[in-house]
Amino acid sequence: MFWKRLFSGIVLVILAVILVGLGGVPLLLATALISLVGQFELYRALSIDHKSIAAIGYASTVIYYLLVLFEGRAYMTTMIVGTLMVFMAAYVATFPEYKTEEITAAFFGVCYVSVMMSYLYLTRQLADGRFLVWLIFLSSWGCDTLAYCAGMLFGRHRMVPKLSPKKTWEGAAGGVIGASLLGFLFGHIFAASMEEISGAAFVCAFACGIGALISMIGDLAASAIKRNHNIKDYGNLIPGHGGILDRFDSLLFTAPAIYYAIQFMNEVWH
């Protein structure tokens, strides 16, 4: 299992380096595909993957990414509201085929997986995005690794024992502090190459700290959903890691957190 997990992890890192490095359409298509697969895994966990409302969710994701591709972000709120209206129309037209919980779960899948995952691409599209997008991975995967190490060394007080018995407050603190230091080091190294970011080391440190903190919520939220629906993993697409959501659960929260933290800090710093 260890070697399988290690090999899969190496492959994921290589793919991430290639696609994130390329940016543009290749990254958007990859992000959209990951979103659709993750959406399917969530719908399957919620037992609505075989129902017609799932098709509305998938179609909404495709439309959303088309808007992102053609820079129609001004219409994104309209699109999300419109998606909810379509779901409610299907709810009314087919009543009593669907329960309220199924409609809300289908709509939730669009926002939770597709919209939040899209911030990986949106961060890459920012000025200096070819550097800043790596903060998403630094804060998400860096926090995960450093929190594990800090928890093993110093962990005493459990965070949420009913949900994740091994996570501790000491580990969480180590993850956030460690991710902030990684961000500071990253910003310091690439500061001279960034044209729009002032005080890059401090901006990156702040963004990584916020991203790391938020990433823990993403990780625990995914675990809560699995526990509520009595499943161990969302899938087995990635050997040794589980499904898309098992590997990208924290990144779903980290990507928008990094995006808005950078925007906020850039405004403050200027």
The per-residue pLDDT for range 71-112, each reduced to its tens digit, is 766 778 888 899 999 999 999 999 999 999 999 999 999 999
Write the DSSP string, 15-56: HHHHHHHH-HHHHHHHHHHHHHHHHHHHHHHTT-TTSHHHHH
pLDDT band for position 180 (50/70/90)? very high
Query: What is the crossing angle of helices 100-109 and 52-69, to 10°?
Result: 30
pLDDT band for position 42 (50/70/90)? very high
Q: Residue 33: what residue type?
A: L
Three-state SS for 167?
strand
Here the tokens at position 266 are 């850039």
Model pTM? Answer: 0.92
- pLDDT tens digits, 205-230: 999 999 999 999 988 998 899 889 88
Whether the per-residue pLDDT at 241 is higher than 80: the answer is: no
**Who's near 29: CB < 8 A, 6+ residues apart?**
none
Q: Give the span between the Cα atoms of 35 and 40, in whole angstroms.
A: 8
Q: Which residue has the tokens 């890059």?
A: 200
**Average confidence score pLDDT of the chain:** 89
